């Protein structure tokens, strides 16, 4: 099985280069790239500058050829595309993701500066989901068909039918001080006067800014995990070994927690491998609704502004995390379930 996982790790390499190559090509080939944007900016700026200084009198506002060439060189567009990719990969292997066009800072710094927000919301969401869904799923399985099961199922499915960002927007309207109640702030990660607050004031402020986004993150993921847990427990409860346990005279508690639960948690544990992706957690939609400067908004903005080094940087990190997360999930799967044999 070790050789299987070594092979899986080696397979990351072609997949990784395939993904980066395709994205790189798409980014570089499509029109309206950073070069065109910069030229357009200069043209507009030049227009303004021209009227102020009164120089030239050239109304067409053509940029001198030399400047265009210089810009082309700055963005590296003077070289053929395959050479650009090779340069990018060589730099990547030296752990250099390049410099952001927009922020004029190394890409890695730009991305790392968003990590705290992502980890904060990601971790809280992750822990809360597992903390609530697993016990709820187990309880629903044991009480399958009861009123509680029916009502909680309905609630869970209602949550599933509302996109998280839409729910967040609704909460802002209701509780954000727009038309109804003014309970929570309109968004942001912290208040602007956060630094001047007392210690408890800081905590209160942070919690106040956390509740609505976290609820929006949770609302969709509740259904999947709860129902998965419930079905898994029910399936195990109908197995022969449970009947054996009952016929041995064990108590219901013992059977559920000692026998059924351990096997039921196997499919749930596999999701844990993707916990490493938490550093990049963050949905564009929810961050946009709550005006949180996280990874989601960063990737969205960098695409819109054609900040290609940042786009590629986020892609590199998220792809690696995803691919490694897949393998970790499988390793966990094999560890918790001795029946699973990969080959």
**Residue numbers of the site for other proteins (CB under 8 A)?**
11, 14-15, 18-19, 22-23, 26-27, 30-32, 142, 144-145, 157-158, 160-163, 165-167, 169-170, 172-174, 176, 178-180, 186, 234-235, 237-238, 246, 252, 284-285, 288-289, 299-300, 303-304, 311, 315, 318-319, 322-323
CB of 14 to other proteins, least distance (A): 6
CB of 32 to other proteins, least distance (A): 5
CB of 266 to other proteins, least distance (A): 18
Closest C-alpha to 226, from 136, 306, 97, 114: 136
> Residue 104 or residue 304: which is nearer to other proteins going by CB?
304
Closest C-alpha to 132, from 193, 215, 61, 205: 215
> Residue 16 or residue 46: which is nearer to other proteins going by CB?
16
CB of 265 to other proteins, least distance (A): 18
CB of 195 to other proteins, least distance (A): 27
> Residue 24 or residue 126: which is nearer to other proteins going by CB?
24
Measured in degrees and rounded to the nearest 5, phi and psi for residue 106 equal -60, 140
Instruction: Report how far residue 108's alpha carbon sits from residue 70's, in angstroms, rounded to the nearest whole number.
Output: 26
Instruction: Report how far residue 192's alpha carbon sits from residue 196's, in angstroms, rounded to the nearest whole number.
Output: 9
Task: Count the neighbouring beta carbons within 10 Å of the beta carbon of residue 294.
Answer: 26
Check: CB of residue 225 under 8 Å from CB of residue 207: no
Q: Within the chain, where are the H helices? A: 2-29, 34-53, 65-74, 81-93, 107-112, 115-142, 147-160, 164-175, 199-237, 240-247, 252-253, 261-269, 284-290, 295-304, 308-336
> Residue 57 or residue 145: which is nearer to other proteins going by CB?
145
CB of 232 to other proteins, least distance (A): 12
> Residue 32 or residue 64: which is nearer to other proteins going by CB?
32
Q: Which two tokens stand for residue 203?
A: 């905590």
List all residues 6 or more positions away from 190 whose beta carbon is below 8 Å from its beta carbon. 205, 206, 209
> Residue 197 or residue 227: which is nearer to other proteins going by CB?
227
């Amino acid at each position: 099985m070790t050789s299987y996982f070594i092979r899986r790790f080696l397979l990351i390499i072609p997949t990784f280069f395939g993904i980066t190559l395709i994205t790189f090509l798409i980014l570089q080939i499509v029109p309206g790239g950073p070069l065109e944007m910069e030229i357009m900016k200069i043209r507009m700026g030049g227009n303004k500058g021209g009227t102020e200084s009164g120089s030239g009198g050239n109304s067409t506002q053509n940029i001198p050829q030399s400047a265009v060439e210089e810009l082309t060189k700055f963005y590296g567009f003077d070289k053929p595309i395959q050479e650009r990719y090779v340069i990018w990969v060589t730099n990547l292997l030296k752990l250099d993701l390049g410099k952001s066009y927009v922020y004029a800072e190394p890409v890695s710094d730009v991305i790392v500066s968003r990590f705290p927000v992502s980890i904060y919301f990601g971790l809280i969401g992750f822990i809360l989901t597992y903390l609530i869904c697993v016990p709820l799923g187990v309880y629903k399985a044991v009480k399958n068909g009861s009123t509680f099961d029916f009502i909680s199922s309905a609630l869970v499915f209602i949550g599933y039918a509302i996109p998280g960002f839409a729910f967040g927007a609704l909460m802002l309207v209701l509780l954000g001080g727009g038309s109804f109640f003014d309970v929570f702030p309109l968004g942001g990660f912290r208040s602007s006067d956060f630094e001047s607050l007392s210690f408890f004031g800081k905590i209160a402020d942070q919690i106040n800014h956390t509740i609505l986004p976290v609820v929006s993150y949770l609302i969709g993921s509740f259904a999947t995990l709860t129902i998965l847990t419930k079905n898994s427990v029910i399936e195990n409860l109908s197995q022969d070994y449970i009947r054996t346990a009952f016929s041995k005279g064990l108590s219901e508690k013992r059977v559920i927690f000692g026998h059924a639960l351990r096997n039921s948690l196997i499919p749930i544990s596999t999701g844990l491998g993707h916990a490493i992706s938490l550093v990049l957690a963050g949905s564009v939609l929810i961050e946009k609704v709550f005006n949180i400067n996280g990874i989601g908004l960063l990737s969205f903005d960098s695409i819109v502004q054609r900040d290609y080094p940042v786009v590629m940087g986020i892609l590199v990190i998220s792809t690696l995390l995803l691919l490694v997360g897949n393998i970790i999930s499988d390793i966990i799967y094999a560890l918790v379930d001795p029946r699973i044999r990969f080959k």
